[in-house]
Structure 1
Amino acid sequence: MKKIFILLFSIVTQSLQAQQNDWTLAPFTKPKENPILSADSSYEFFCPMKNTSVKWQKADVFNPAAIVRNGKVYLLFRAEDTPGTNIGFRTSRIGLAVSTDGIHFKRQKTPVLFPTKDEFAKYDNPGGCEDPRIVERPDGTYVVAYTAWNRDVARLCIASSKDLVHWKKHGPAFGKAYDGKFVNIWSKSGSIVTQMKNGKITAVKIKGKYWMYWGEKGVNLATSDDLINWTPLVENDGSLKYAINIRAGKFDSDLTEPGPPALLTKQGILLLYNGKNALGENTDKNLPAETYSGGQVLFDANDPTKVLKRSDNYFIKPDLPHEMRGQYKAGTTFIEGLVYFHKKWFLYYGTADSMVGVAVKDAL
């Protein structure tokens, strides 16, 4: 009788745990094809800023956005051009690759978003265009939130496109808000809230506004009427409002940074985010210090500022050799792209600031 009771108790406990965790998108597995993209010095293009031909993918290829278009997966990946220099001192350009199976990609020869002699050069030259996240508007226009890096201040910027190849830059996301109060702050990683209907993911309004999670040390919020011009949420004293922040002793003890576009689900708004482990007394002792891994948090569907649930542990971490060897040697699975494709979830991420990886989850 005692053994039967223990067995029943175990079954009930497991069932309750499963119910408590059914809000997360997990587990993911990493297919044997990893890494799926890496540096390639055979790709050249004429750089309008340097006035010469450059091997724009020579150093590293990483941190991709992802979108499904016409039955194919498109990656917008970050590529750096000059090996042997420190992090932040190369030029990044965003390239385009396409796949029919979500794993094997063919790259376009030239980048699609990069520094050029335009009004935005003061923001993205010489550091470049980095770390995109992409959404599709209900009208079919694509919008990218990316980091413009002039080697002084990182600025979250916006660009739009009809075909993923030709992009129009719109400048800093917060350029018009509060009379430009936040245009020169350090800002990165814009995760715009989306919704999936009939297998298609598009940006969605909540209470008449588009919402975006953004930030680096902690996760901030912003709203928009058009996905181009964004207004950060602030406290009564005018300081930036935080949706979540770092937690001592956990995988996100040093940094929380939004990952792919957030997803409105039946349970709430699901945000997959990147957490960096601290170096020192606040570190998660089960992870190497300064490791980047991925977590999940659920916000109220009617109040995107309100946290309902948050994972205590990571759901993805560096555990393959190339994820712990490269430009960022502490180890990185930096998640940025998520698509629903062929009835599976494909999660794309940067590995050690050097390559592109993918993890796959079967749909329920």
Structure 2
Amino acid sequence: MNNNNRSRMVKSIMNLAHRKAEMKEHYEASLAMNVGDHAWLSTLYFSGAYEEEPDWAIGPFVKEERMTFQLGRQWRDPYDFGWKSGFLFNPSLIERDGKLYMFYRAAPKKEATGSRIGLAVYEEGAGWSDCGHNPIIYPTVDNELLGCEDPKVYEADGKYYMFYNGVWPVSEEQAASVRESMGYEVQVGCDINMAVSDDLLHWEKRGIVVPHDVSQYWAKGAVIPRDPGGRAVRIDGRYMMFLSEGCGGRQHVGFSEDMLNWHFEPQTYLDTSAYGKLYELACVSADRSPGDERLVMDFYYRDGDGRNAAGQALYARREPFRQLSLNKGGTLAWGGLIQYRGRWLFAQGWDAANGDNEMYFYSAVVR
């Protein structure tokens, strides 16, 4: 081995050791985190009953007890410092060859940093099987140092695309930009990162999606309209990505021809002022029927009494920025909705206790 190769190898080993030490430090800090009142979230509080049920709304939902998933083991830790999962939430579901694939966030505790992403597969009659090589996505680069969170999975043109949040510690200068963007103090940055797969099992990371000059070091939630089968839907020949949090405090929309390369523009598309202050867009559902051109946006907001709430908004696909109607009640299905066995379906782990490592499923009639 020549001196240049030896030098590169030594540097790589030192970088890995430094990253491992940093992640261990942040993991231990995440176990001690007090995440506050915003961690109180109960799925059926948002989705179990709607004041009104217009024909375009998706829901209300009921719990499907038979589909509950429990992670009965701890994953391997690629960095071998003792990382353990204590809470599962914010999954994305997609069906392939009659099997239900669930990509889920595993965190040391509810709403804490230090997350990794795993996969479990459900087959009727056999139940759940957790993927043996989990985690399938975990921190490997600097903008994931504090975790990989909240996967959103889409099928497009024969491939699968996962968009997930990479969380990382910000500098003082970056923190000022994030604070201005978010309107309150934030000690971390959040990037939307991408990974691509041919088979849902093996994933290749492709890096950051929203550049920092757009995100201002905080962009969260790559919401792309998708049909009930989990396929990304083109609108006017292009894929669209709706961003609702960060980005200098302005709503943005991304445009892409291929799901890989995106450009973003400021674009207001959702006005929740009649209900309260918008927190975040959760998902956009597009009906698969040829004659049905509806889009339904599912969103999270704070009402006039200071309570967390969910709502849905109706659009025509040909005019995705013109809001037609609002309705109170929604899923907050961050990973999107699918239709499975003839019913709408999503999953969430909010109602589990820390340490239970459980995920619950909710279904609704398809109108």
TM-score when normalising by structure 1: 0.70
Cα displacement string for residues 196-237 of structure 1 (whole angstroms, at most 9, x for unaligned residues): 5xxx44222221210122223775421111112222222xxx
SS of 2:55's equivalent in the other structure is coil
Work out whether residues 143 and 167 of structure 2, in 8 Å CA contact, stay in contact via their aligned partners in 1: yes
> Match of 1:244?
270
Work out whether residues 112 and 166 of structure 1, in 8 Å CA contact, stay in contact via their aligned partners in 2: yes
> Match of 1:258?
281
Q: Which has the higher helix share?
A: 2
Segment of structure 1 superposing worse, 60-69 or 205-214: 205-214
Q: 1:143 to 1:103 in 2, by over 3 A?
A: farther
Work out whether residues 194 and 203 of structure 1, in 8 Å CA contact, stay in contact via their aligned partners in 2: yes
| Structure 1 position 212 matched with structure 2 position 241 | yes
> Match of 2:168?
150
| Structure 1 position 298 matched with structure 2 position 314 | yes
Residue 343 of structure 1: CA displacement?
1.5
Q: CA–CA distance in 2 between the matches of 1:357 and 1:255?
A: 26
Q: 2:300 aligns with which of 270, 275, 296?
A: 275
Work out whether residues 252 and 268 of structure 2, in 8 Å CA contact, stay in contact via their aligned partners in 1: yes
Q: CA–CA distance in 2 between the matches of 1:165 and 1:352?
A: 28
| Structure 1 position 66 matched with structure 2 position 93 | yes
Q: 2:207 aligns with which of 171, 174, 196?
A: 171
> Match of 1:324?
none
Q: 1:184 to 1:104 in 2, by over 3 A?
A: farther
The one-letter code of the counterpart of 1:195 is D
Q: 1:219 to 1:347 in 2, by over 3 A?
A: farther
Q: 1:184 to 1:77 in 2, by over 3 A?
A: same
Residue 74 of structure 1: CA displacement?
0.6
Q: 1:314 to 1:220 in 2, by over 3 A?
A: farther
Residue 153 of structure 1: CA displacement?
0.6
Question: Map of 1:1-364 to 2, 5 A cutoff?
Answer: 21-33=54-66, 36-37=68-69, 40=72, 42-47=73-78, 50-52=79-81, 54-55=83-84, 57=85, 59-80=86-107, 82-83=108-109, 87-88=111-112, 90-101=113-124, 104-109=127-132, 110-116=134-140, 121-125=141-145, 127-138=146-157, 140-151=158-169, 152-175=188-211, 181-182=213-214, 184-195=216-227, 200-216=229-245, 220-234=252-266, 241-247=267-273, 250=275, 253-264=276-287, 266-277=291-302, 282-283=304-305, 289=307, 291=308, 293-311=309-327, 313-316=328-331, 335-351=334-350, 355-364=358-367
Work out whether residues 57 and 296 of structure 2, in 8 Å CA contact, stay in contact via their aligned partners in 1: no
Q: 1:350 to 1:215 in 2, by over 3 A?
A: farther
Q: 1:96 to 1:211 in 2, by over 3 A?
A: same
Which structure carries more relative contact order (alpha carbon 8 Å, separation 6+)?
2
Work out whether residues 166 and 193 of structure 2, in 8 Å CA contact, stay in contact via their aligned partners in 1: yes
Work out whether residues 145 and 158 of structure 1, in 8 Å CA contact, stay in contact via their aligned partners in 2: yes
Work out whether residues 87 and 349 of structure 2, in 8 Å CA contact, stay in contact via their aligned partners in 1: no
Q: 1:76 to 1:113 in 2, by over 3 A?
A: same
Structural RMSD (CA): 3.0
Task: Tell me the percent identity.
Answer: 25
Residue 303 of structure 1: CA displacement?
2.2
**Count of residues paired in the alignment:** 289
TM-score when normalising by structure 2: 0.69
Structure 1 stretches of 5 or more lacking a match? 1-16, 235-240, 317-332
